[in-house]
Structure 1
Amino acid sequence: MRCLIVLAHPLDKSLNHRFADLAAQTLAAAGHDVARIDLYAEDFDPRLTRAERETHYTETPDHSGIAPHAAALREADMLVLVFPTWWFGLPAILKGWIDRVFAPGIAFDHGTDFGPIVPKLDRLRRMVAITTLGTPWWADRLVMWRPVRRMLKTAVLGSCASQARFSYLPFYAAEKPTAARIDAFEKRVRAALTR
């Protein structure tokens, strides 16, 4: 399989970088072709450009600013997102990547007469979201109802690759990690990626 890992954390020594490295090693060891995009390392601009938005509803949307990212997404059988959850949402750089790359002509086509959009990521079979949260599990699940999970699974994946399976792997209370908790989570990541 072609696996695309998209990492969104500004600090090289973060748990997110560690988990992205683990994902890459696990998938490569299983014989998969692994591509990796580090949004902060490449200084990805999360802002949707005027040209991109102005051509949003035309027959040929302008994807010139994100062409390599669009090609990587189109070619992916598996997409692995590795990111921190901040304020119960995606980091701006990752949200911007989704805004710009999950675009018409790439991830979906507009429906006729502004009806439902038509999924276009037919190749994508799986999305895995690996995220760290400073909050305890109960705040995400019981108070906020897992907004990041719902958005990624229902809005993004459900609209653009409805045939794909989704896995959500949250590492809670990430500001106080113990070696034992990290080891247990890494086993969970390995198991999810080799399923």
Structure 2
Amino acid sequence: MRVLVIFSHPCRESFNFGVVQTVLQTLKEQGHEVRLRDLYEEGFNPVMHADERRGYHDEGDNVAPVAEYVEDIVWCEMLVFVYPTWWYGLPAMLKGWLDRVWLPHVTFSMPTTEAGSRPKMQHIRAIAVVTTCGASWWLSKLVGEPGRKTILRGLRALCAPRCRTLYLAHYKMDTSTPESRDRYLTDVQRKLSAFAG
């Protein structure tokens, strides 16, 4: 399977960097064709400037500022997001990637007076989120996990009708222990293997 891994964390010494290494190793050991986009390392600009926004709905032209990233999502059959959950949501870098790369006419058709919007990413059959959360499980649920919903509901709606999803979170990251982190990496390897297999 063609798998695109989107990694969004600024620090190489972070636990999240170890998580993405586990994700990449797991997928490659299963024989998947993997592309990594390390948004911070690449210096991806998450800011949509005025001229880009003015051309956002212009079919063809809207792709030009982010063409290589659009090519990635057209290529892949599975998406894996690895990121820290900050303020219950996505890091600004990742949200900016969604804003700029998931463009109309590429990922969905624009609605008309005759028909509503239609999803155009039906080649994507699976989406996984691998994240860390400072908050506990119950507090995350109480707030509503907006980051989880953005990807596994909003983004999924543009993919294949039976697109499978996986959500793996290490909650209470701020009080984690070496043992809890090891358990999480083992879970990631085991559950992602089963999901991607």
Over residues 21-74 of structure 1, what are the superposed CA-to-partner deviations in whole Å (9 max), with x where a residue is unaligned?
A: 100000000000111011101111101233432223333342112111111111
Task: Give, in whole Å, the separation in 2 of the partners of 1:58 and 1:150.
Answer: 28
Equivalent residue, structure 2, for 1:185: 184
The one-letter amino acid of 2:111's match is G
1:41 alignment partner, SS class: helix
1:63 alignment partner, SS class: helix
The one-letter amino acid of 2:183's match is A
Alpha carbons of 1:115 and 1:184: their partners in 2 closer, same or farther (altered >3 Å)? Answer: farther
The one-letter amino acid of 1:170's match is A
TM-score by length of 2: 0.91
1:160 positional shift? 4.3
Over residues 128-171 of structure 1, what are the superposed CA-to-partner deviations in whole Å (9 max), with x where a residue is unaligned?
A: 11111111111101x21222222211112113444311111111
Task: Give, in whole Å, the separation in 1 of the partners of 2:161 and 2:102.
Answer: 14
Work out whether residues 16 and 84 of structure 1, in 8 Å CA contact, stay in contact via their aligned partners in 2: yes
Task: Give, in whole Å, the separation in 1 of the partners of 2:167 and 2:6.
Answer: 15
1:124 alignment partner, SS class: coil
The one-letter amino acid of 2:92's match is A
Equivalent residue, structure 1, for 2:148: 149
Alpha carbons of 1:149 and 1:162: their partners in 2 closer, same or farther (altered >3 Å)? Answer: farther
1:81 alignment partner, SS class: strand
The one-letter amino acid of 1:158's match is A
- Residues 9-158 of structure 1 correspond to what in structure 2 (within 5 A)? 9-113=9-113, 116-141=116-141, 143-158=142-157
Task: Give, in whole Å, the separation in 1 of the partners of 2:129 and 2:110.
Answer: 26
TM-score by length of 1: 0.92
Alpha carbons of 1:164 and 1:51: their partners in 2 closer, same or farther (altered >3 Å)? Answer: farther
Which runs of 5 or more structure 1 residues have no equivalent in the other structure? Answer: none
Equivalent residue, structure 1, for 2:169: 170
The structure whose residues are more often helix, as a share, is 2
Task: Give, in whole Å, the separation in 2 of the partners of 1:159 and 1:117.
Answer: 10
Work out whether residues 110 and 117 of structure 2, in 8 Å CA contact, stay in contact via their aligned partners in 1: yes
Work out whether residues 52 and 63 of structure 1, in 8 Å CA contact, stay in contact via their aligned partners in 2: no
2:9 alignment partner, SS class: coil
Count of matched residue positions in the alignment of Structure 1 and Structure 2: 194
1:114 positional shift? 8.5
Which runs of 5 or more structure 2 residues have no equivalent in the other structure? Answer: none
Over residues 80-114 of structure 1, what are the superposed CA-to-partner deviations in whole Å (9 max), with x where a residue is unaligned?
A: 11111111111100000001111112211112238
Q: Give the fraction of aligned pairs with identical amino acids, expressed as a percent.
A: 34
- Structure 1 runs (4+) deviating above 4 angstroms are none
Task: Give, in whole Å, the separation in 1 of the partners of 2:78 and 2:103.
Answer: 18
The one-letter amino acid of 2:169's match is P
1:17 alignment partner, SS class: helix
Q: Please say which of residues 72-81 and 144-153 is displaced more in the overlay.
A: 144-153
Q: Please say which of residues 58-67 and 110-119 is displaced more in the overlay.
A: 110-119
